Structure 1
Amino acid sequence: MRLSVVLSGLVTAIVVLAADQGSKWWVLHGLHLPEIGQVVILPVLNFTMVWNRGVTFGLLTGNSNFAHLALAVFALAVVIVLAIWLTRTQRLIIALPVGAIAGGALGNVADRLHYGAVVDFIQAHAFGYSWYVFNVADAAIVCGVAALVIDNLLPGRSDATASGAKNRG
C-alpha cells in the first residue's frame, strides 16, 4: 500500500510538472502571448502575459541573477522536504496534494532557471475585480496546500492517526 501511495504522489508531481511546462510552452511558442500581450478567453478569463520575477503573487521581486538563483534554490529545498514527507506518508489524501505542490514548485523552478522569471498567464476577473495572474503550477500549489489544510482541520485525519501513533499511548 505504501509504495502505491508514494508512486501516486510522484505521478501527480510529474503530471503537474508536464501540464505546467506544456501550457507555458504553448503560451510562449504557440500562442506567442509575449508579442500579443493579452487574449480574451471568456468574459471572466483572459490570457495575460506576465513575467513574475518575485515569489508568489510577485512578492519579493528581485532582478539580479542572485535573486533568481536564491529563489530557485529555496524552491528546490522545499521540494526535497516535500519528497521526504511523501516517502513517509501512508495516506493517498496526503500524497496527492504533496505531489501537486512539488510538481508546481518544480515547474516554477524550471522557469526561473530557463527564463530568469516565472511565466504567468491566467487572469481571472469579474465585477471589476481581477485576481493575480498565475499559471498551472501556481494553481496546483494553491489547491495542494488547501487540501492539506482541510485534511488537517478534519478531526482524526492526520498521518499520526493513520499510522496508529495516537493509539499507542
Structure 2
Amino acid sequence: MFDRLPPRAFGLAAAFGALALDQAHKFWMLHVFDMAGRAPIRLAPFLDVVLSWNYGVSYSLFPAHEGWARAGLLVAQGAIVAGLAAWMLKSESRLTATALGLIIGGALGNAADRLTRGAVADFFYLHTSLPVGPLANYVFNVADVAITAGVVLLVIEGFFSPGERPREGNG
C-alpha cells in the first residue's frame, strides 16, 4: 500500500504529524497540566520538565520581544520553510521527504507559538554540571525534537545513500 505513495506524501504526513503532536503537547502542558503553575519536575538527574518562554531562536539567540522583531523572525522562518517545502516536494527519496517534513512541521509548530503566544514554549530542560559546552543547559520542546530528528535523518541519508560516483579517466 505505502509502496505506491510518492515521497511528498511521506513528507506531508511527517510535517502535519510533527506540527499536530507539537501543538497538542503544548496545549496540554499549558492548559490541562498547567505547567505554569507547577514547580520544575525532575525526570532524571539530567532532565527536568519546566516552562520556559523563548523569545528568540535556538539558545535564545536574536531575542524578539517587540512586534517588528517577531515579525522579522516569522518572515525568515517562512522563507526557510518555503525553501524546505520546495525541496521536499521535488524530492525523489522518501527518507529525504520525511526528514524535511519533520523539520518543516517543527518549524511551523514553533512559528505557531511565536504568532499566537509571542514566544515559543519550551518544556524539557536538559542539564549537567559537566563542562560540555552548549548542551550543559538546553531547553527544548517537541517541535525541536522533530527538527533535530529531521536533520539527523538527512545526515544519515547523506552518509549512507549511494551518491554520484566520480568519473574515471583524465577528466
TM range (shorter): 0.7 to 0.9
| Deviations 1:16-69, CA, capped at 9 Å, x for gaps | 001100111111111111222412233432111110000112111121111111
SS at structure 2 position matched to 1:41: strand
Secondary structure of residue in 1 paired with 2:56: coil
Are 2:29 and 1:27 aligned? Answer: yes
User: Structure 2 length as normaliser, TM-score?
Assistant: 0.84
Equivalent position of 2:56 in the other structure: 54
Count matched residues.
Answer: 159
Percent identity for Structure 1 against Structure 2? 38
Shift of 1:3: 5.2
| Aligned residues: CA RMSD | 2.0
Which consecutive unaligned segments of at least 5 residues does structure 2 have? none
- Contact 1:2-1:89 at 8 Å conserved across structures: no
Structure 1, residues 100-146: CA drift from partner, whole Å, max 9, x if none? Answer: 00000000000000011000011123565743110010111112112
SS in 1 for 2:6: helix
Cα 1:113/1:2, change in 2 over 3 Å:
farther
Picking from 73, 76, 94, the partner of 1:74 is 76
Rounded to whole Å, the distance in 1 between the matches of 2:33 and 2:129 is 27
In structure 2, the partner of 1:136 is 142
Would the aligned equivalents of 2:81 and 2:107 in 1 still touch at CA under 8 Å?
A: yes
**Secondary structure, counterpart of 1:133 in structure 2:** strand
Q: Deviations over 1:135-160 (max 9, x none)?
A: 01011111211221232233624xxx
What runs of 5+ residues in structure 1 fail to find an aligned partner?
Answer: none
In the alignment, the residues of structure 2 paired with residue 18 and residue 155 of structure 1 have an alpha-carbon distance, to the nearest angstrom, of: 30
User: Is contact 1:2–1:90 with CA below 8 Å preserved after alignment?
Assistant: no
Does the 8 A contact of 1:38 with 1:47 survive in 2?
yes
CA distance in 2 between counterparts of 1:72 and 1:103 reads 14
Counterpart of 2:43 (choices 19, 35, 41) is 41
Please tell me the residue identity of whatever aligns with 1:57. Y
Q: How far, CA to CA, are the matches of 2:161 and 2:35 in structure 1? A: 46
C-alpha separation in 1, matches of 2:51 and 2:36: 6
Q: Secondary structure at the match of 1:151?
A: helix
C-alpha distance in 2, partners of 1:29/1:141? 24
| Alpha-carbon offset, residue 70 of structure 1 | 1.0
Confirm or deny: 8 A CA contact 1:37 1:49 kept in the other structure: no
User: 1-side partners of 2:143 and 2:155: how far apart?
Assistant: 18
